[in-house]
Structure 1
């Protein structure tokens, strides 16, 4: 068995980098991560800070699920092919779930991180955590074009034929977008706060902690972003509330 030499961290969510500082120190590994994601890993308070809308996060937001141990990043990973020793490693940048999330392709296998989710994960969390559905759908369509022998999602099992799962992800996200558009059409005018509440209720989400609610609020907003980008809904401020309606051009 070869000696460990490198640690590649795909994105700055604590479930993916929470143990990185320990592993890096124990094995003296050269640590790579994408730009921006690296900044969060080195300054983990940034995640509860941005989820909290830029305000200093309350103590209940400073937990291990949102804030891992800081880890030093030795090299910024860009979208290119690098060599680790004599092993070619193709790096992909796949935004949507996180701002500059990376995936790596080695020996014909794609370690996809959270660029797509296993089927169980989609239905378990009901409203998947993403930052912008437009970028997420672009990433998923790029995944359909990659020629590899199989793929491993960050949450899910290795699949030789992963294309059907990627297509399931696409359909799932589009169904959520359709639900939001129909809800706004029915109600004529919907505030952001009302939409977050209605969608969490409709999808049967269980939230008991502020940090979990912040994650779902971000996820709902990710779909709103996509609908706005596609011109399917319009937005404006009304009575100091961010408000949505169906566009009438």
Structure 2
């Protein structure tokens, strides 16, 4: 589904666009000339539904060269090995994310706990996938005529980064912030409301017009408003609104 001239959403499950497995986050394809960047991998469940969206949107498979992982939660990283096998993508992740995904660490990623609670089916496992490139917070990556800067965004998970594209004034916000200024407040060991507060304050300083979150719907204008709304609730001492 084409959202803007440069960004397509090719996946999204029960908390998103409902166009792929219920267990998927929103999966985006960013078109930078002849280089297509995939942002997050989905869960790896029913991956052919994601690949079919590429064809429906006319996105050439030969252009798919990079997979950016925002964090290691399975709905975002579980499909990385499949993308790598299918397209030979360069997998890019922050150090902590790379360590967990590379090892298939179901404790560190909170998958074991999520599976036990019924969030994932009992047969589901995290397929290990080594990262090809480690990205650091503040580092800028160039793809064709676009750049993406990794912005540290701990809170929902300790390892999360978001990606900001200054040319498009676009933020791929992963599970940091969503439409209506909602957050993803969860009860897992890697969650920290104090870190979340700092992350939202940091993101509020960016010039965000387009917001592409890991769940829910994207905003093609006025993205800064929802970040400001979340930041305002923190500053006023009000509990955040959550998508879960």
Residues 48 and 61 of structure 1 are in contact (CA less than 8 Å); yes or no, is this contact kept in structure 2?
A: no
Question: 2:104 and 2:118 mapped to 1: Cα distance?
Answer: 10
Q: Is 1:113 matched with 2:171?
A: no
Mark the CA change 1:49 to 1:163 in structure 2 (over 3 Å): closer, same or farther. closer
Q: CA deviation at 1:119?
A: 3.7
What secondary structure does 1:12 align onto?
coil
Residues 14 and 68 of structure 1 are in contact (CA less than 8 Å); yes or no, is this contact kept in structure 2?
A: yes
Q: CA deviation at 1:31?
A: 0.5
Q: CA deviation at 1:51?
A: 7.9
Q: CA deviation at 1:145?
A: 0.8
Higher-Rg member (1/2): 1
Q: CA deviation at 1:5?
A: 0.8
Instruction: Identify the residue that residue 134 of structure 1 maps to in structure 2.
Output: 194
Q: CA deviation at 1:50?
A: 6.2
Q: Structure 2 unaligned runs (5+)?
A: 1-32, 35-62
Residues 9 and 17 of structure 1 are in contact (CA less than 8 Å); yes or no, is this contact kept in structure 2?
A: yes
Residues 208 and 224 of structure 2 are in contact (CA less than 8 Å); yes or no, is this contact kept in structure 1?
A: no
Moved more, 101-110 or 168-177: 168-177
What secondary structure does 2:107 align onto?
helix
Alignment of 1:57-96 (within 5 A): 60=116, 64=120, 67-79=125-137, 80-85=139-144, 87-96=146-155
Alignment of 1:178-193 (within 5 A): none
Q: TM-score, normalised by structure 1?
A: 0.58
Structure having the higher helix fraction is 1
Question: 2:109 and 2:91 mapped to 1: Cα distance?
Answer: 24
RMSD: 3.4
Q: Is 1:152 matched with 2:212?
A: yes
Question: 2:181 and 2:226 mapped to 1: Cα distance?
Answer: 10
Question: 1:67 and 1:61 mapped to 2: Cα distance?
Answer: 14
Number of equivalences: 172
Q: CA deviation at 1:121?
A: 6.2
Instruction: Identify the residue that residue 79 of structure 2 maps to in structure 1.
Output: 19
Question: 2:156 and 2:109 mapped to 1: Cα distance?
Answer: 18
Mark the CA change 1:163 to 1:24 in structure 2 (over 3 Å): closer, same or farther. same
